[in-house]
Amino acid sequence: MTRASQDGAAARAVLFDAYGTLFDVYSVAELAEELFPGQGQALSVVWRDKQIEYTRLVTTCNHGAHYKPFSVITRAALEFAIKRVVDDSENSGAAPDFLLQYQAAMEQLLAQYQHLEAFPENLGVLKQLKGLGVATGILSNGDAAMLNATVHAAGFDGLLDHVISVDPIRKFKTHPDAYALGEKALGLAAKDILFVSSNAWDALGATWYGYQTLWVNRYDLPFETLGTQPTCTGHDLHDVMPFFL
């Protein structure tokens, strides 16, 4: 684990991003490959990229007038990904024809999204934090129903004190109002909370907001090049523990 700075108070609680950090968003690629042989991995990548793009679009345009819940965003992004990756050669046809052809596959993939695989070390780390009495939570773009279903499917019930969705404020991360939800739920200032994300853009947004941050760089990628570094960079969720031991 690398640390950008030794300054700052000890963290008193930890918030996790959900999608990409606790849960592997690309684990849907296996089912996507069964449904669309030879295209599953590409589909999962386009789906995720478009999902994040849509959250930014509806948050920043027209003062949020076009906001849609994350479940709706996720469905719309999947429809785009299928049109782009699977149906591109056919130019997607008319909308009714598209839905008739791909509706069943879409429903299977959306159902799988509520059963995303957790990264293998995460359960053990959450149990360690629970044993230490550390306050824990998720702060996510996901709808409450989506998050609760995924937490349950992963076997994380009882290991998280807070499951916080941005949906009530109708603004997705990286809007500062989204990060403020963590302070409100925990009753702590951002500087006293560790925010953990595998998404570099999310780790940067949380750092700018004022959280202590751990970027979990599972794939040896470069961090965002906007002049700010996270508090720490690690390789998996085990790197949370030095903040509390």
Cα–Cα dist 103/110, whole Å: 10
Strand locations in 17-161 (E): 135-140
Structure tokens at 81: 């990904």
Residue 87 falls in the annotated catalytic set: no
Q: What residues does 193 pair with on adjacent strands?
A: 13
Spatial neighbors of 163 by CB under 8 A, at least 6 apart, are 137, 138, 140, 144, 147, 148, 151
Q: Of 7, 17, 24, 87, which residue is the catalytic one? A: 17
Cβ atoms within 10 Å, residue 203: 30
Cα–Cα dist 111/105, whole Å: 10
Catalytic residues: 17
